[in-house]
Amino acid sequence: MLKGKHIILGITGSIAAYKAAYLTRLLIKKGAEVQIVITPSGKEFITPVTLSALTGKPVVSEFFTANTGEWHSHVDLGLWADAMVIAPATASTIAKMATGVADNMLITTYLSAKAPVFVAPAMDLDMYKHPSTQANLKTLQSFGNQIIEPASGFLASGLEGKGRMEEPENIVAYLENYFAKGQKYAGKKVMVTAGPTYEKIDPVRFIGNHSTGKMGYAIAEEFASQGAEVTLISGPVNLSCSTKINRINVTTAVEMCQAAQEEFVNADIAVMCAAVADYAPKQYSQTKIKRSGEMTIELVPNPDIAATLGAVKRDSQILAGFALETNNEEINAQAKLEKKNLDYIVLNSLADKEACFGYDTNKITIIGREGEKQNFPLKDKKEVAKDIVEYTYKLIK
Ligand code: C5P
Q: What element of type H or E holds 25?
A: helix 17-29
Residue located nearest, by CA, to atom 5 of ligand 1: 323
pLDDT digits (tens, 9 = 90+) for 335-347: 999 999 999 999 9
The answer to whether residue 219 scores a pLDDT higher than 70 is: yes
3-state percent breakdown (helix, strand, coil) of the chain, nearest 5 = 35, 25, 40
For residue 325, the ligand 1 atom closest to its alpha carbon is 4
Q: What element of type H or E holds 186?
A: none
For residue 320, the ligand 1 atom closest to its alpha carbon is 10
Query: Quick one: pLDDT at residue 186?
Result: 85
Alpha helices, DSSP H only, in 119-159? 125-129, 131-142
> Cα separation of 242 and 109, whole Å?
19
The answer to whether residue 65 scores a pLDDT higher than 80 is: no
> Cα separation of 251 and 242, whole Å?
20
Calculate what percentage of the chain has a pLDDT beyond 70.
Answer: 95
pLDDT digits (tens, 9 = 90+) for 369-391: 999 999 999 999 999 999 999 99
What value, to the nearest 5°, has the Cα angle with vertex 217 and ends 254 and 203? 40
Query: Quick one: pLDDT at residue 156?
Result: 79
For residue 345, the ligand 1 atom closest to its alpha carbon is 10
pLDDT digits (tens, 9 = 90+) for 89-135: 999 999 999 999 999 999 999 999 888 999 999 999 999 999 999 99
CB of 344 closer than 6 angstroms to any ligand 1 atom = no
Cα 363 to ligand 1 centre (Å): 18
Residues 6+ apart with CB under 8 A from 338: none
Are 55 and 26 a contacting pair, CB within 8 Å?
no
Comparing CA positions, the residue from 294, 295, 276, 293 lying closest to residue 285 is 295
CB of 310 closer than 6 angstroms to any ligand 1 atom = no
CB of 252 closer than 6 angstroms to any ligand 1 atom = no
Q: What element of type H or E holds 64?
A: none
Are 192 and 277 a contacting pair, CB within 8 Å?
no
Average pLDDT, the chain: 92
Are 170 and 150 a contacting pair, CB within 8 Å?
no
| Residue 251 confidence class, pLDDT cut points 50, 70, 90 | very high
> Cα separation of 330 and 364, whole Å?
11
- Which residue out of 145, 170, 209, 327 is catalytically annotated? 209
For residue 322, the ligand 1 atom closest to its alpha carbon is 10
| Residue 354 confidence class, pLDDT cut points 50, 70, 90 | low
Residues 6+ apart with CB under 8 A from 125: 155, 159, 160, 161, 162, 163
Cα 211 to ligand 1 centre (Å): 13
CB of 343 closer than 6 angstroms to any ligand 1 atom = no
Query: Quick one: pLDDT at residue 373?
Result: 94
Q: What are phi and psi of 102, to 5 degrees?
A: -90, 65
Choosing from 192, 269, 340 the residue with most ligand 1 atoms within 8 A of its CB, the one to mutate for a pocket test is 340
Comparing CA positions, the residue from 79, 98, 80 lying closest to residue 89 is 98
CB of 199 closer than 6 angstroms to any ligand 1 atom = no
Residue located nearest, by CA, to atom 9 of ligand 1: 322
The answer to whether residue 214 scores a pLDDT higher than 60 is: yes
CB of 260 closer than 6 angstroms to any ligand 1 atom = no
Q: pLDDT: is 1 or 363 the higher one?
A: 363
Model-level pTM? Answer: 0.68
CB of 192 closer than 6 angstroms to any ligand 1 atom = no
DSSP for 150-211, written as a single string? PEEEE-TTS-EEEEEPPPHHHHHHHHHHHHHHHTTTTT-EEEEEESB--EESSSS-EE----
> Cα separation of 359 and 273, whole Å?
15
Cα 278 to ligand 1 centre (Å): 8
194: Cα within 13 Å, side-chain hemisphere:
27
Cα 285 to ligand 1 centre (Å): 27
10 Å Cβ neighbour count for 103?
A: 10
Are 204 and 186 a contacting pair, CB within 8 Å?
no
Are 154 and 160 a contacting pair, CB within 8 Å?
yes
The answer to whether residue 227 scores a pLDDT higher than 80 is: yes
**Can you give the residue ranges of every domain in the chain?**
6-181, 189-393
Residues 6+ apart with CB under 8 A from 237: 194, 195, 196, 211, 212, 213, 217
Comparing CA positions, the residue from 321, 289, 290 lying closest to residue 305 is 321
Under DSSP, is residue 249 helix (H, G, I), strand (E, B) or coil?
strand
Query: Quick one: pLDDT at residue 68?
Result: 62
Query: Quick one: pLDDT at residue 355?
Result: 61
Over residues 264-291, the mean pLDDT reads 97
Comparing CA positions, the residue from 140, 151, 222 lying closest to residue 181 is 222
| CATH no. of 6-181 | 3.40.50.1950
> Cα separation of 255 and 237, whole Å?
15
Q: Is-same-fold flag (6-181; 189-393)?
A: yes
CB of 304 closer than 6 angstroms to any ligand 1 atom = yes
CB of 23 closer than 6 angstroms to any ligand 1 atom = no
Q: Write the DSSP symbol of residue 90.
A: -
pLDDT digits (tens, 9 = 90+) for 3-59: 889 999 999 999 999 999 999 999 999 999 999 999 999 999 999 999 999 999 999
Over residues 215-243, the mean pLDDT reads 93
Query: Quick one: pLDDT at residue 79?
Result: 82
The answer to whether residue 356 scores a pLDDT higher than 70 is: no
CATH architecture of the domain with residue range 189-393:
3-Layer(aba) Sandwich (3.40)
For residue 342, the ligand 1 atom closest to its alpha carbon is 10
Q: pLDDT: is 17 or 61 the higher one?
A: 17
Q: What is the largest CA-CA distance in the chain?
A: 84
> Cα separation of 17 and 327, whole Å?
54
Instruction: Flag the least confident range among 25-29, 219-223, 240-244, 296-300.
Output: 240-244
Q: Which amino acid is at 376?
A: F
Are 147 and 131 a contacting pair, CB within 8 Å?
no
pLDDT digits (tens, 9 = 90+) for 129-180: 999 999 999 999 988 899 999 988 888 778 888 899 999 999 999 999 888 8
Whole-angstrom distance between the N-terminal and C-terminal Cα of the chain?
A: 25
Strand-pair category, 33-38 with 6-11: parallel
For residue 88, cis peptide bond before it (omega within 30 degrees of 0): yes
Establish whether 362 is a catalytic residue: no
